[in-house]
Structure 1
Amino acid sequence: MEFVFNVNPGTHETSVRYSLLDAVKFMAAFIDQQNEQSRSFCDSFDQASREAHGFNYDDERDELHISGISGSEYDLDGVFKEEFPIYVIESQVIMLWSMLEKNLDAIATELYSIKGTPWVKFKGGGSLFFKYIERIESADGKHFNKSLIDFLDKNVRVVRNALVHGGVRELSATHEHLDVRDGILRDVFPQYVSSVIESMRYRALELVAADRQIYRHY
């Protein structure tokens, strides 16, 4: 998700700086709606079996079908009410990180263009997130809050990597709302997603403050 604004040149840089804050707001709203729809789906699962999209109850066989999947062959309650909500939470971490990197890329590139600084291609591997941060700090001549950047880079980024790379989810990071046992990520709780959103929001506010000096008021 990347916001594009049609604005006059005098307000263009301000719009660029606010774009991440807007993106975080929209993503937080989407996740809030997703959580409510997931909760509603699970809470009304039995009732939905007779009226919701894709649900069909065969009275003769006393058998529930969901989008063609038979309840006599699978534990539908276990899959749809217990397992899939876990995937929803994990996917939210992935979505948030994708949104963050995409917007930081656009913001860093645009700030370099506004300030007339040549954009040099990144060299080697490493965290793209940290490289975008360094570019924005270079454009502004100011540093972001180190502890906040460290949380996003050394915790959220590595959690996201553990979720998408498959295999054993080895994880060195810890958090009160992560279930990490013997160095393996077992579960991600909804409160962790809330912590990620809040950290990204403060990061976005710092980006605004780099230009307007108003961070202390938030």
Structure 2
Amino acid sequence: MKALPSFISDELYIISAFNDKQEVQISEFIDNIEQHIEVTEVERWFQISADEGEVGVAQIEHISGISEEEYDIREMFTEIMPIYQRQAMLLTLWGSFESEMEKMYIYASAQESLPKKNKKDKISKLKHMINCFSKMGMPAEPTREYVSAVNTLDDEVRLIRNAWAHDGGKDPMDKIPDGIEGIVKKYSQIEISKEYIKNVVLLMHVISRELNNSVRSATIAAYKQKQTHA
């Protein structure tokens, strides 16, 4: 019997580890923000009085060309830009997870691709894949943890992911409920905390682990049955 593939995604572990390192870099950058600020001297016209002025030298602070004349660079790089960094983390995790799920379904079902959704069905790709597994009896006895993870990912995490993927981090239809731990709306955008990212990874692993175990069990059972009738 060939070694069975594992669908407990190594990619998710690697992305999670990389995200942790990015968080360290973000924290170090914020703590040492003054070291990243450069000063450039530029000529400016200074108005001395209503009738007089002179050319002088002004010192302009900037980070990689983004100057204090245009933005509050300390706020921009310590509060706003980390928001964009973490939304990128979430989008990467979601894409990896959906790809993992699809590969697992193709293997378990021996199909070439995931079945198309009925146009009348207003369900997400994630829920569609979960339903496809369910029709094959996988997992045979889903745990409460599994069901909860599916619901949280589909009803909450997916909406936050979509807000960043399609609406620049905004929630124009007000679909995302208030009071989600690790999520706040800041600068009219959804801010994702590093704790929230870690929790998303855990939820994905719950689903991946239970489906992986179910797929492996079904494959082993089918192999034993084949050997019995050989």
Q: TM-score, normalised by structure 1?
A: 0.74
* Cα shift at 1:46: 0.9
- For these two proteins, the number of residue pairs brought into alignment is 191
Mean CA deviation greater in 38-47 or 169-178 = 169-178
2:75 alignment partner, one of 64, 78, 83 = 78
Asked if the contact 1:90/1:163 (under 8 Å) is kept, the reply is yes
Normalising by structure 2, what TM-score?
0.70
Aligned counterparts of 1:81 and 1:129: Cα–Cα separation in 2: 34
Rounded Cα–Cα distance in structure 2 between residues aligned with 1:201 and 1:162: 23
Aligned-pair Cα RMSD in Å: 2.8
Q: What aligned pairs does 1:1-218 form with structure 2 within 5 A after superposition?
A: 10-11=2-3, 14-15=4-5, 18-49=6-37, 56-58=38-40, 61-113=58-110, 120-124=115-119, 125-143=122-140, 144=142, 145-166=146-167, 168-169=170-171, 170-173=174-177, 174-179=179-184, 186-212=190-216
Query: Equivalent pairs: percent with the same residue?
Result: 24
Structure 1 residues without counterparts, runs of 5 or longer: 1-8, 50-55, 214-218
Residues of 2 paired with 1:34 and 1:43: CA distance? 14
State the structure with more CA Rg.
2
Q: Given residue 155 of structure 1, which amino acid in structure 2 is its aligned partner?
A: E
Larger relative strand fraction: 2
Partners of 1:20 and 1:104 within 8 A in 2: no
| Contact 1:171-1:180 within 8 A present in 2 as well | no
Q: CA deviation at 1:132?
A: 1.3
Q: Which runs of 4+ in 1 moved over 6 A?
A: none
- Aligned residue identity for 1:204: S
Residue deviations 1:95-140, cap 9 Å, x none?
2212111221222122222xx6986433225210111122233345
